[in-house]
Amino acid sequence: MPDKPEHKSAVATRRGDDGTTGLLFGSGRVFKDEPRTEAYGAIDEAIATLGIARAELGLKAQEGALPHTLARLPEVILRLQRELFVVGAELATAPDFLDRQKPGETRVTAEMVEGLDALLAETEAAVELPREFVVPGETRLSATLELARTTVRRAERRAVALRRAEPIPGDQLVPYLNRLADLLWILARGAEQGESRVATPSRAEPRRRRAGGDQKQV
């Protein structure tokens, strides 16, 4: 009986079996646990987590249970996911190929940060800020947004470490991640309030007043 031809997958190239991966530009390969890979890997996780939030909103819309106050949130989340692809592209560029990056496509721009500032101001004006630390979990949607926030914070820490070790061409990537984490915290509060559920602190923890912002890093 003739042997079956070996299947060649367009996805499983097996080139990463040695623990390396390719970057966006250039033919060189780096180890999967290097600082640069860790940084854009965290971005990938944040994009996927925001996808869960968007899927949750889609289910609510299908069931007719999406509050009108959250009607724009799927569009906002999709915008953030697409912008995070730009962040990931900037991080996934080897230092020798930085000149190939394009603002707004593979490099974060000041306009992207300003867009987050505007969205943050708009969203913050529409929600009531809690006066105590928030324990995530009042709703599935808000908890998912909180998970995305913490993943973005991890990506921010990785990006800072990378910037201290080797060049990152633009000066907007870290501010973008910092601002995005703030925005996701506000969006989580809006999700709670939009579903008419108010987050309360854990009974096991003393009530502590927020000194501006939240328990997040600033």
Output 142 or 10, whichever has higher pLDDT.
142
Integer Cα distance of 187 and 68 in angstroms: 15
> What pLDDT, on the 0 to 100 scale, is given for residue 208?
43
Give the pLDDT confidence score for residue 213 in this predicted structure.
Answer: 45
Structure tokens of 57? Answer: 């909103």
Tokens standing for residue 130: 């809690």
DSSP secondary structure string for all residues of 135-188:
-S-SSHHHHHHHHHHHHHHHHHHHHHHHHHHS--S-SSHHHHHHHHHHHHHHHH
Q: Residues 14-38: what's their mean pLDDT?
A: 62
Query: Which of 1-5, 160-164, 177-181 has the lowest average pLDDT?
Result: 1-5
Helix (H, G, I), strand (E, B) or coil at 31: strand
Is residue 72 helix, strand or coil? coil
pTM for the model stands at 0.79
What would the pLDDT profile of 103-150 be if each residue is shown by its tens digit?
899 899 999 999 999 999 999 998 988 888 888 888 999 999 999 999
Which domains occur in the chain, in start order?
Answer: 28-194 (1.20.1200.10)
Lowest mean pLDDT among 52-66, 110-124, 126-140, 187-201: 187-201
User: What CA–CA distance (Å, rounded) separates 105 from 19?
Assistant: 28
From CA 56, how far away is CA 37, in angstroms rounded? 29
Q: In sequence order, what are the residues at sequence separation of 6 or more whose Cβ sits closer than 8 angstroms to the Cβ of residue 190?
A: 69, 70, 73, 123, 126, 127
Type of residue numbered 119: L
**Torsional sign, CA 46, 100, 172, 162:** positive
Could you tell me which of 44, 19, 39, 14 has the C-alpha nearest to residue 29? 19
Closest to 77 in 3D by CA, of 137, 144, 20: 144
Q: Which range (40-54, 121-135, 146-160, 201-215) has the least confidence?
A: 201-215
